[in-house]
């Protein structure tokens, strides 16, 4: 059977670095068309995908819609909904880069449009398949932490210019700019996926480098009673990526997932590569009440070492890391379209994320805790 034919609309960071390589690496699907109005990006697309059709605008894509089996929306947030609607109008299944929309109401409307048309729709919440998230899920399944009490999750970096050189220069519901919809969408989706619905939201949103929100803090209380504290910022010294406290132990992961850095550096998933396998020196640690300091672990040597259990380090026992799995997303899409299995992300879950982000805006504006209904 021929591969599914995918069109990617947008060839910025999301389209060029994330979607195109992950589609190219997935069996049963190929990049057939790339839409970009930027001449330099078009040249890069031609060089990387010489067999693909390069189109200057989406109208040209709709004119040849029958030549495609899937559309990936990797354009700026402001046009996610309008482009996805046009794809659905042409009965084309859609992958929308996160966020699905700029607010929960628009997301609900898009989902209703897809359901009326009977057209599959999913959202690229790829950070569910970060190594730290998959490792944490394993620890939760094993009961290693006991009952979870508090989650601390950060996506922070040191970039003095914040978002100044990127397209997210506006910060309102119409344009979808700022770090809340950018990294905040990942952080919220992760804790909802692992710890369930949220009952209350408190948020602080700051504009350190100008008019755009470039620093965000969210305090969420889940219906289960678990507390999630989330930070996103572009111009701070990064804190630990993840810390989860339970009644039996604490999981501490100082280092971020390595898949984005690998894609940016030009690495690609393949059957011959240990894709998403973290450096052993970057494994997290499990701290229990009786943990005692230990000798530091020996340095990890990629040339001679293979994944295994390193010597115990100074802060509890190292936790063997699960490989990251961004490369699982598009094979799941192929299976959904050909075999009728579920899409990798239910778009209604993206609505839940956006409800929390909407409440965060309200909380920050009114300086109060916002209660979410059912």
Question: Are 336 and 318 in a shared domain?
Answer: no
| 368 within a domain of the structure (yes/no) | no
The CA-based angle 96-28-262, given to 5 degrees, is: 60
Within-domain flag for 356: no
Q: Are residues 284 and 296 in the same domain?
A: yes
One domain for residues 151 and 245: yes
pLDDT value of residue 33: 98
Looking at the domain assignment, is residue 374 inside a domain?
A: no
If asked whether residues 168 and 314 sit together in one domain, one would say: yes
CB 235 within 8 A of CB 186: no
159 in the same domain as 308: yes
* Claim to verify: residue 137 and residue 99 sit in the same structural domain: no
Q: Say if residue 39 is in the same domain as residue 160.
A: no
In a domain, 109, yes or no: yes
CA-CA distance, 358 to 98, in Å (whole number)?
Answer: 15
The reply to whether 147 falls in a domain is yes
Residues 238, 147 within the same domain = yes
Q: Tell the burial category of 260 from Cβ atoms under 10 Å away from its Cβ (0-12, 13-18, 19+).
A: middle
Q: Check residue 238 and give its pLDDT.
A: 87
Range of the domain at 79: 4-126+328-342
* CATH at 95: 3.40.50.720
User: Within this chain, do residues 122 and 202 fall inside the same structural domain, yes or no?
Assistant: no
Q: Is residue 364 in a domain?
A: no
In the chain, where do the E strands start and end?
4-9, 29-35, 53-55, 70-73, 94-97, 121-124, 148-156, 198-206, 215-222, 227-233, 242-246, 249-253, 285-288, 317-318, 370-371
**Residue 366, domain member (yes or no):** no
- Considering its fold, how many domains does the chain have in total? 2
Whether residues 279 and 181 share a domain: the answer is yes
Whether 71 is in a domain gets the answer: yes
Largest CA distance in the chain: 66
What global pTM score does this model have? 0.90
What is the chain's pLDDT, residue by residue, as a tens digit (374 residues)? 689 999 999 999 999 999 999 999 999 999 999 999 999 999 999 999 999 999 999 999 999 999 999 999 999 999 999 999 999 999 999 999 999 999 999 999 999 999 999 999 999 999 999 999 999 999 999 999 999 999 999 999 876 554 444 535 555 656 778 899 999 999 999 999 999 999 999 999 998 776 788 899 999 999 999 999 999 998 788 889 999 999 999 999 999 999 999 999 999 998 777 899 998 999 999 999 765 544 334 443 434 343 444 444 446 899 999 999 999 999 999 999 999 999 999 999 999 999 999 999 999 999 999 999 87
**120 in the same domain as 140:** no
CATH code of the domain in which 284 resides: 3.30.360.10
Q: What is the pLDDT of residue 177?
A: 80
pLDDT score recorded for residue 310 = 41
54 and 148 fall within a common domain: no
The Cβ-side half-sphere exposure at 336, using a 13 Å CA radius, reads: 20
């Amino acid at each position: 059977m021929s591969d599914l034919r995918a069109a990617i609309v947008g060839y910025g960071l999301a389209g060029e670095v994330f979607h195109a390589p992950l589609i190219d690496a997935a069996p049963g699907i190929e990049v057939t068309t790339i839409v970009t109005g930027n001449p330099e990006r078009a040249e890069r697309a031609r060089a990387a995908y010489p067999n693909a059709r390069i189109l200057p605008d989406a109208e040209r894509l709709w004119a040849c819609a029958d030549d495609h089996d899937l559309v990936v929306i990797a354009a700026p947030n402001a046009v996610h909904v309008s482009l996805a609607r046009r794809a659905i109008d042409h009965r084309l299944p859609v992958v929308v880069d996160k966020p699905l929309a700029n607010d929960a109401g628009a997301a609900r409307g898009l989902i209703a449009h897809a359901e009326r048309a009977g057209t599959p729709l999913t959202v690229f919440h790829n950070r569910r398949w970060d190594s730290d998230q998959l490792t944490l899920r394993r620890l939760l399944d094993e009961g290693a932490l006991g009952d979870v009490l508090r989650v601390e999750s950060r996506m922070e970096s040191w970039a003095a210019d914040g978002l100044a050189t990127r397209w997210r220069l506006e910060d309102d519901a119409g344009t979808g700019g700022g770090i809340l919809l950018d990294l905040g969408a990942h952080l919220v989706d992760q804790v909802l996926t692992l710890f369930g619905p949220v009952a209350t939201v408190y948020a602080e949103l700051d504009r350190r480098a100008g008019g755009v929100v470039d620093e965000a803090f969210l305090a969420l209380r889940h219906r289960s009673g678990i507390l999630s504290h989330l930070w996103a910022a572009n111009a701070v010294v990064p804190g630990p990526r993840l810390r989860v406290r339970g009644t039996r132990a604490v999981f501490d992961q100082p280092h971020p997932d390595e898949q984005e850095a690998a894609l940016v550096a030009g690495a690609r998933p393949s059957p011959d590569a240990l894709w998403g396998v973290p450096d052993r020196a970057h494994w997290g640690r499990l701290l229990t009440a009786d943990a005692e300091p230990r000798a530091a672990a020996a340095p990890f040597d990629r040339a001679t070492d293979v994944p295994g259990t390193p010597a115990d380090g100074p802060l509890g026992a190292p936790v063997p890391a699960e490989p990251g799995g961004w490369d699982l997303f598009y094979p799941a899409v192929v299976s959904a379209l050909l075999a009728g299995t579920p899409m990798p992300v239910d778009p209604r879950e993206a609505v839940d994320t956006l409800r929390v982000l909407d409440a965060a805006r309200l909380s920050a504006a009114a300086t109060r805790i916002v209660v979410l209904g059912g």
